Amino acid sequence: MNAPFEGIGASMKRKEDLRFISGHGHYVDDINRPGQLYAYIKRSDRAHAELRGIDTAAAKASAGVVAVYTSADLTGIGGLPCGWQIHNKDGSPMAEPAHPVLASGKVRHVGDPVAVVIAETKQQAKDAAEKLVVDYKDLPAVATVTDAVKPGAAQVHEGAAGNVCYDWEIGDKGAVDAAFAKAAKTVKLDLTNNRLIPNAMEPRAAIGEYDPTTGEHTLYTTSQNPHVIRLLMGAFVLQIPEHKLRVVAPDVGGGFGSKIYHYAEEAIVTWASGKLAQPVKWAAERNESFMSDAHGRDHVSTAELALAADGTFLALRVKTLCNMGAYLSTFAPAVPTYLYATLLAGVYKTPAIYAEVKAVFTNTVPVDAYRGAGRPEASFLLERLVDVAARDTGMDRVEIRRKNFIPKDAFPYQTPVALQYDSGDYVSTLDAAMKHADWAGFPARRAAAKAKGKLRGIGMSTYLEACGIAPSKVVGSLGARAGLYEVANIRVHPTGSVTVFTGTHSHGQGHETTMAQLVSDQLGVPFSQVEVVHGDTSKIPFGMGTYGSRSLAVGGSAMVKAMDKIITKGRKIAAHLLEAAVEDVEFKDGKFTVAGTDRSKTLSEIALTAYVPHNYPIEELEPGLDETAFYDPKNFTYPGGCHVCEVEIDAETGVVSVVNFTAVDDVGRVVNPMIVEGQVQGGVAQGIGQALLENAVYDQDGQLLSGSFMDYTMPRADNLPNIKVGTETTLCTHNPLGVKGCGEVGAIGSPPAVINAVVDALSDYGVRHLDMPASPQKIWSIIQGAPRMAAE
């Protein structure tokens, strides 16, 4: 009898979905501990002010209040650490101002926590917080990067002159200048990458609990990486040794990067629960998410491309200002440098690249990685620039790309900006996307749209990204203060079922399914017999969590290594039982067989023997079948592909509708095609959101104008077309599975495809570029302002 195929390549339904869609997910805010108190954080409503004093007397006297803390109470507590150090052009380290858990001396953005009230109920905590009297002296504020670098701009930190966090460069300036000097053509483009608010469905929450009898602290938190939080908070903020600190990240309702970072509230509840010897819960209300979750993107750039007469790219020069917000969030400095500027080669063999990145402080929420992190900024810049280059030089948008692609026989390919790509075939994804999108049939569709009074445009992006982060030694040399390996523990139980303990974390991606499939495939154990455990530092080994599309490429590779150890040991046990030489025992489809015979033992027989070692080579081999492996990747992985977007514009109102979207991606080997399709569609939804809808807007005084869903436009189902997803595969050459990663490609590849399509639709109006989001008002103003070039 043939069992249904459940292994690598099967679209298994997601194991976790029954609990999610039936309301049985178990999130932090679902957890309630005996004697639990509630924390409410009083946040600054000023963007920038001196904090002259906080009168807590009335709040402390308010009903149900157990404690009120301000920064003055947090003695002996460190600030929130930054996990990455960038160096300036001159070799000096970046400015790294203190990031206190509760604001001290000054508040620096709307939402900056100034005090915490802890009471028996959440209502009581809120009631009391209203009685806090905060004495602010307003200071001038600065909200945008362009304002922050102006002479005389308000200074966010004393230690960061001119608001500069760092002024960094990469590439060969001399070679680039020389190439520009002799180029036949040059093209220049100014562009902005809009600021985004992640808006995971589940707001952040944290519960601290302390057991005075053991001295153990437990933190339940909405995190993508519980061990990272344990390390940062334990070692740098609260000085709790790791054996006395347990961090649990149970079901987490989306992260998109925003739940990587160590946040003040985690330290507050952990510290306060220790002090009060009672559990303390904090859960964000949605308005707090808007003003306290790390935001994403926010770049202002100038890009220049030098071309030969035939359209060959000769050199790229980029200058970027990026917003760090008011304080450095955990990985913020890395995003606009090593996750952005190193990606500026894209899929092109541009021989010389030079980029300067200046990171600046502003009176806004800290900015850090958000789905794609740095790579969407690079792909938007590059893929817009390539379209503009085609337009300015009169070349075809597709031909200019084909001409400059890194050919498929050029791998491994060393770019001029540090990365070495291992594999790819950009022509295959381009051809497949153009075919699925019926690129050739577009002129007819444009004509049909015109007959209905609509402007139709088509655009593409041929993008590349680097994920599967990351080789520890490489990132260490680039300023990372952590290693980025991953770990897996594979426990084969006596009856042959398997539990997989992974250091990665699933917050919607479907790891419980994909990883179970992987293990099922490799060990020949039925899918239903494999359970994946993640998210609790008391259960799982020390892993680095989930971000940068690393869970399968790095975490899955660790599983393969652990399974190799299981198989190696299993062969020894089988050789003993079957009285054969170890070298003669083969493992396949869950069976150990003596080569060339029908003598075999199943994995469950071997497991039982391992745990009941009566007939066992006990002199040479330990009992048990339980192996752990750490895997440090040799390189990043390099997914890429081609996204094609088709839009229709209502010229009277300026409304842009995405009518077709095709994504063909090379994500390496596909374990579960259904999950890959869902990940790509979700990413594209966010990319279309960025391109057309989303925008975090501050006014000049640093007030967040888009501070709720009434003003911040999230993409919704009716903003999206049916997103066609395809894959074309080249395998990653340096990890055992050949996988690359699919979690971010959608958000990286899609925004430039959308804007390229919008610009194409507006070609009659002489539009060369427009920044995101392409809102109706923006499109309408462009149409108003532009004399129509072509005849009606």
Q: What is the contact surface with another protein in residues (CB under 8 A)? A: 123, 126-127, 130, 287, 652-653, 693, 695, 697, 705-706, 709-714, 775-777, 780-781
Using alpha carbons, select from 759, 566, 749, 550 the residue that is nearest to residue 665. 749
Tokens 């088509």 correspond to 458
Minimum CB distance to another protein smaller for 640 or for 751: 751
- State the amino acid at position 676 in one-letter form: V
Alpha carbon 24 to its chain centroid, in Å, reads 26
CA distances in angstroms from 335 to 124, 244, 258, 322, listed in the order given = 40, 32, 13, 10
> Nearest approach, Cβ of 692 to another protein (angstroms)?
9
Tokens 């015109």 correspond to 450
Minimum CB distance to another protein smaller for 604 or for 713: 713
Minimum CB distance to another protein smaller for 589 or for 652: 652
> Nearest approach, Cβ of 433 to another protein (angstroms)?
28
CA angle 591, 597, 599 (to 5 degrees): 50
Tally of CB atoms within 10 A around 696: 22
Minimum CB distance to another protein smaller for 112 or for 288: 288
Minimum CB distance to another protein smaller for 472 or for 713: 713
Please tell me whether residue 184 adopts helix, strand or coil conformation.
coil
> Nearest approach, Cβ of 160 to another protein (angstroms)?
29
> Nearest approach, Cβ of 388 to another protein (angstroms)?
27
- Cα-atom radius of gyration of the chain, to the nearest Å? 28
Minimum CB distance to another protein smaller for 261 or for 712: 712
Minimum CB distance to another protein smaller for 1 or for 201: 201
Q: How far apart are CA 476 and CA 470, in angstroms?
A: 10
Phi, then psi, of 629 in degrees rounded to 5: -140, 140
> Nearest approach, Cβ of 604 to another protein (angstroms)?
50
Minimum CB distance to another protein smaller for 340 or for 712: 712
> Nearest approach, Cβ of 771 to another protein (angstroms)?
15
Minimum CB distance to another protein smaller for 139 or for 655: 655
Dihedral through CA 730, CA 736, CA 740, CA 741, nearest 10? 140
CA distances in angstroms from 712 to 195, 197, 258, 264, listed in the order given = 11, 8, 17, 25
Output the 3-class SS for 475-540.
Answer: HHHCCECCCCCEEEEEEECCCCCEEEEECCCCCCCCHHHHHHHHHHHHHCCCHHHEEEECCECCCC
CA angle 506, 284, 34 (to 5 degrees): 85
Minimum CB distance to another protein smaller for 697 or for 720: 697
Element (H, E) at 414: strand 413-414
Q: How far apart are CA 497 and CA 377, in angstroms?
A: 44
> Nearest approach, Cβ of 47 to another protein (angstroms)?
17
> Nearest approach, Cβ of 777 to another protein (angstroms)?
5
Tally of CB atoms within 10 A around 121: 12
Minimum CB distance to another protein smaller for 526 or for 776: 776
> Nearest approach, Cβ of 688 to another protein (angstroms)?
13
> Nearest approach, Cβ of 144 to another protein (angstroms)?
14
Minimum CB distance to another protein smaller for 127 or for 512: 127
Q: How far apart are CA 646 and CA 637, in angstroms?
A: 29
How do strand 352-361 and strand 313-325 relate by DSSP bridges? Answer: parallel
> Nearest approach, Cβ of 443 to another protein (angstroms)?
28
> Nearest approach, Cβ of 781 to another protein (angstroms)?
7
Which residues partner with 766 through β-bridges?
none
> Nearest approach, Cβ of 226 to another protein (angstroms)?
31
Dihedral class, residue 305 (left if φ above 0, else alpha if ψ from -120 to 50, else beta): beta
> In the structure encoding, which two tokens stand for residue 280, read together?
């303390």
> Nearest approach, Cβ of 292 to another protein (angstroms)?
17
CA distances in angstroms from 228 to 221, 333, 371, 505, 550, listed in the order given = 12, 17, 19, 11, 15
Q: Are 218 and 539 in contact (CB under 8 A)?
A: no
Using alpha carbons, select from 693, 696, 697, 679 the residue that is nearest to residue 748. 679
Minimum CB distance to another protein smaller for 389 or for 758: 758
Minimum CB distance to another protein smaller for 56 or for 695: 695
Q: Are 574 and 608 in contact (CB under 8 A)?
A: no
DSSP 595: T
How do strand 205-211 and strand 280-283 relate by DSSP bridges? Answer: antiparallel
Minimum CB distance to another protein smaller for 523 or for 656: 656
> Nearest approach, Cβ of 383 to another protein (angstroms)?
24
